[in-house]
């Protein structure tokens, strides 16, 4: 059994390539099912997809890594060579370390951000619902969550971290003299938009509007923030009303096109527009950035802003890495115990199987005695004596074989296994 991770992220792949491999949460379960059906042999699998990364975690034969990369490339509509140029493959302890770092926010564009942990938990639930989460990946991710919790509680990794949405407010403040004089449009109503709207609302802008495909969800968010709500279809005709536009939807195609922005600028008499596209794939067409009166930022453009203060958190990073290293060692020890070549799990299984054989034999003998009319007490006595003899036969035989040193070592082991309650206190303490 081996674990591995295959993926792309904001460090290895550009935004438009990442957009080809973005999966909404409700797509993960059917995508995992299709992926596992594409393999000749079933394996455990989990798919994590965020605006900064798409990663497949697997447990099983490592020969599945190659077919997995080809399947992922085909799913994203690119050649295997293109994906291979931007992808990373991590195995065993490095895969575990990567999972722990991701969960802890150490591999994020925003160092120490906490949102990724919830996204990982969602991905694990989706894998479980798809029947793709076995005992190995379950252990990997439960340990990831535990490590992340310890990192969060024992270090200051998240202190003073700047989120994407906070960075957007900072950039808007550099463009507009006073945010109280602007009108802001939020496109979408998910978690990222809720965070962005909360940050902007704290600056008391002149007006805020929520545009969403589903009015009900948009109205719920708008009511909390005192914002107006509109249908997504209204955006192109009303775009000119807004000085700032923050968009983050799950659309697979851009919903704000170049033509719509050009018309809006004309109606605004070319007053500047501040636009932030937090979506992967893009919500706003890339060509919009070339317009002279538009200041368009994507998630990758915000990278420099969110790194502010990173140096001051390096000590916390070192502490977090030490916690992660300990977690990796513990997980790999657990893996080794399950390895038939090194571990004790197969031996435990064999012992249990042998005990079941003995038990079945004595139960069959007891049933025969009962059928002959033997007294129950006598049958129970024979049953207990038979089980005891079978279980002790090998041990007692070993105590009578070998040289003096071998017998002494065997006697010490037998005492530790069978006479724990009878050992002197000092001996028990030494063994414990």
Strands 244-247 and 273-277: parallel
Which of the following is catalytic: 28, 45, 51, 230?
Answer: 51
Find the helix or strand (DSSP H, E) in which 296 lies: strand 294-298
Q: Which helix (H) or strand (E) holds 229?
A: strand 228-231
Asked whether 10 and 303 are in contact (CB, 8 A), the reply is yes
CB atoms within 10 A of CB 226: 9
248 annotated active-site:
no
CB 350 within 8 A of CB 357: no
Whole-angstrom CA distances from 240 to 101, 185, 372 are: 43, 10, 96
DSSP bridge pairs for 89:
6
Q: Residue 359 and residue 312: Cα distance in Å, rounded?
A: 64
Token couple for 313: 């958190």
CB contact set of 275 (below 8 Å; sequence gap of 6+): 244, 245, 246, 247, 256, 261, 284, 288, 294, 295, 296, 297
CA distances, 139 to each of 41, 94, 124, 346, 381 (Å): 21, 15, 11, 18, 43
Strand, helix or coil for residue 132? coil
For residues 2 and 337, what is the distance between their CA atoms, to the nearest angstrom? Answer: 13
Q: What is the CA radius of gyration of the chain?
A: 31
- In sequence order, which residues have a C-beta less than 8 Å from that of residue 360 and are 6 or more positions away? none
Q: Is 77 exposed, middle or buried (0-12, 13-18, 19+ CB in 10 A)?
A: exposed
Residues carrying an active site annotation:
51
């Amino acid at each position: 059994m081996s674990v591995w991770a295959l993926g792309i992220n904001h460090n290895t792949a550009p935004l438009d390539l990442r957009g080809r491999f973005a999966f909404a949460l409700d797509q993960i379960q059917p995508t995992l099912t299709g992926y596992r059906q594409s393999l000749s042999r079933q394996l455990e699998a989990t798919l994590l997809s965020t605006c900064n990364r798409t990663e497949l975690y697997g447990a099983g034969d490592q020969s599945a890594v190659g077919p997995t990369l080809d399947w992922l490339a085909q799913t994203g509509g690119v050649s295997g060579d293109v994906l291979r140029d931007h992808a990373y493959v991590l195995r065993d302890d490095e895969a575990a370390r990567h999972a722990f770092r991701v969960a802890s926010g150490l591999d994020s564009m925003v160092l120490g951000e906490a949102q990724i942990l919830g996204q990982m938990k969602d991905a694990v639930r989706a894998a479980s619902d798809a029947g793709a989460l076995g005992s190995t990946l379950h252990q990997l991710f439960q340990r990831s969550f535990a490590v992340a919790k310890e990192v969060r509680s024992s270090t200051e990794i998240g202190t003073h971290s700047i989120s994407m949405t906070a960075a957007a407010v900072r950039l808007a403040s550099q463009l507009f003299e006073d945010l109280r004089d602007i009108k802001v449009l939020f496109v979408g109503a998910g978690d990222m938009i809720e965070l962005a709207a909360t940050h902007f609302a704290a600056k008391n802008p002149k007006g805020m509007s929520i545009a969403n495909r589903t009015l009900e969800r948009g109205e719920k968010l708008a009511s909390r923030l005192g914002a107006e709500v509109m249908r997504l279809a209204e955006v192109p005709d009303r775009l000119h009303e807004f000085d700032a536009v923050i968009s983050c939807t799950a659309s697979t195609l851009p919903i704000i096109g170049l033509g719509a922005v050009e018309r809006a600028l004309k109606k605004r008499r070319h007053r500047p527009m501040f636009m932030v596209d937090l979506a992967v794939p893009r919500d706003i067409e890339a060509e919009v950035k070339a317009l002279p009166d538009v200041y368009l930022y994507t998630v990758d453009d915000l990278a420099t802003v969110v790194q502010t203060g990173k140096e001051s958190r390096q000590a916390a990073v070192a502490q977090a890495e030490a916690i992660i290293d300990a977690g990796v060692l513990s997980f790999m020890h657990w893996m080794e115990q399950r390895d038939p070549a090194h571990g004790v799990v197969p031996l435990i299984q064999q012992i249990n199987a042998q005990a079941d054989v003995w038990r079945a034999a004595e139960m069959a003998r007891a049933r025969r005695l009962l059928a002959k009319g033997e007294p129950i007490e006598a049958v129970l006595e024979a049953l207990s004596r038979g089980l005891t003899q079978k279980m002790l036969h090998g041990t007692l035989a070993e105590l009578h074989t070998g040289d003096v040193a071998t017998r002494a070592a065997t006697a010490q082991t037998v005492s530790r296994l069978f006479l724990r309650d009878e050992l002197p206190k000092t001996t028990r303490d030494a063994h414990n």
